[in-house]
Structure 1
Amino acid sequence: MKTLLSSFRRLPITRILDPTIPLSGYTLLDLSVTNPDLKHISLSDPDACQKYIDEVLVRKKARVAYGGYLEQRDLYSGNVNFALDEERRDVHLGVDFWAKAGTRVVAPLDGEVHSFKNNAVQGDYGPTIILRHELEGMLFHSLYGHLSLESLDGLYVGKAFKKGEELATLGTPEVNVHYAPHLHFQLILDLQRKKGDYPGVCRASEVDFYSRNCPDPMLLFRCRSN
């Protein structure tokens, strides 16, 4: 992983959303269980979640709110798919970019389609694309979740995307399985034979493995997610 992250630092600056949005239009967002502002907000309700995000964007004079890597959240409470045993899955493994539905997603690196799928189960990603990348001889993957259905049109395994080329657009809550509109972006070293899907949330006891297999995506943009 250290070698891969070193390679990221040698890349030109990259973007993942509509390049017309200036960097000054981004602000960090804290959706962790330690944020006192969320004490009486039901983040699992997309309307309530969107209202809170809009308040942050207005306060920060921003257009995109981002963050969440290894953040422990209450966002998944009440969903049985995250509580199948005594230890609930509530640690987020990617970075979320909260923006309006329809916002363009661009490929941050050259890559090709590894797999894609509409994971239409509440709590999952909805329409999802996974790209395969090779950088200085190293193979890894990037996952894009909560997209629009149209984002899957015309895709096929092996389809190439150049850095900066439009890859997808953000979906609405009706399509992205009941979340406020956002992009879930995750780096994955070993997909463990999965196609079109990969865990984006883990249990606290699994953080050691997943933090090694899914490094902080914001390092690709030369900053940390929190």
Structure 2
Amino acid sequence: MTEFLKNISQQPLHVIDESIPFEQYIPISIAASNKELTFDISSSKEWEVYLENYFSKHKKTVAFGGYLEVRDIYSRSEHFNKLSEENQRNIHLGIDLWCNAETDILAVLEGEIHSFKNNTNYGDYGPTIIIKHSIRGNEFYSLYGHLSLESLENISVGKKVRQGEKIGTLGDNSVNGDYAPHLHFQLIIDIEDYYGDYPGVTSKKTLDFYKQNCPNPNLLLKLPDEMNINKF
């Protein structure tokens, strides 16, 4: 499946506003090992200040990264942090694209709406859309988390979507699980019994399964090398 995903397109694919050129993208690390994160990481407002300064410093518009990144940010929420250290969910399974709220979100490839839901746990996705793709006999799913509430209006299961079609907009911290605005983009091979939701963070104990079931989204996005990706 990895080779299949890699070869779907030779060109980078868009999941946010196509009018933002890839030259405006920059890698970012929010890993626990990043010593630059000296602020209160539980505060979405302080994250917004950090990102604003990051964009200003580098003269960029979008920051991206995070596949298999080990993060401390989830420790603020019991939704992720109520188990033993081995079972603590702090390994990120998607790529985050940090940019302004209300930025257009696009379907990475053609498909149909599998499901959608507002996941309202503290630190969760908030409004989420999952698209089912069937390409050359291969079936897989793409998940778009931290959207606006308006993204879940006028949507229906089974609706066909085109590659690059606008499916929603980014939410702000009042609806997106209390994060600075960003898209959580994730690929899923077997959706199991999930509807409008799928784990976006895993533990060391279950990492091997999720690495296989949630391949690197950069196989499709083809963005420049990410920073500080943890290898297991």
TM-score bracket relative to the smaller structure: over 0.9
Q: Mean alpha-carbon deviation: is it higher for 146-155 or for 43-52?
A: 43-52
- The structural deviation recorded for 1:225 is 3.7
| SS of residue paired to 1:36 | coil
Instruction: Return 5+ residue gaps in structure 2 as ranges.
Output: 228-232
Q: State whether residues 30 and 71 of structure 2, in contact with CA within 8 Å, keep that contact through their aligned partners in structure 1.
A: yes
- The percentage of counterpart residues that share the same residue type is 45
| SS of residue paired to 1:154 | coil
Any residues of structure 2 matched to 1:59-98 within 5 Å, and which?
59-87=57-85, 88-98=88-98
Any residues of structure 2 matched to 1:35-114 within 5 Å, and which?
35-38=34-37, 40-87=38-85, 88-114=88-114
The residue identity in structure 1 corresponding to 2:186 is Q
Q: Does 1:201 align with 2:201?
A: yes
For residues 30 and 6 of structure 2, the distance between their equivalents in structure 1, rounded to whole angstroms, comes to: 29
Please tell me the root mean square deviation across aligned C-alpha atoms, in Å.
1.3
- Say if 1:56 and 1:154 are closer, same or farther in 2 by CA, change over 3 A: same
- The structural deviation recorded for 1:80 is 1.0
The TM-score, its normalising length taken from structure 1, stands at 0.95
The residue identity in structure 2 corresponding to 1:222 is K
Instruction: State the partner residue of 2:230.
Output: none
**TM-superposition CA deviations, 1:127-175 (whole Å, max 9, x none):** 0000000111100000000000000111111001101111110001001
| SS of residue paired to 2:205 | helix
Instruction: State the partner residue of 1:7.
Output: 7
Q: State whether residues 16 and 106 of structure 1, in contact with CA within 8 Å, keep that contact through their aligned partners in structure 2.
A: yes
Q: State whether residues 216 and 225 of structure 1, in contact with CA within 8 Å, keep that contact through their aligned partners in structure 2.
A: no
Instruction: Return 5+ residue gaps in structure 1 as ranges.
Output: none
The TM-score, its normalising length taken from structure 2, stands at 0.93
- The structural deviation recorded for 1:12 is 4.4
| SS of residue paired to 1:76 | helix
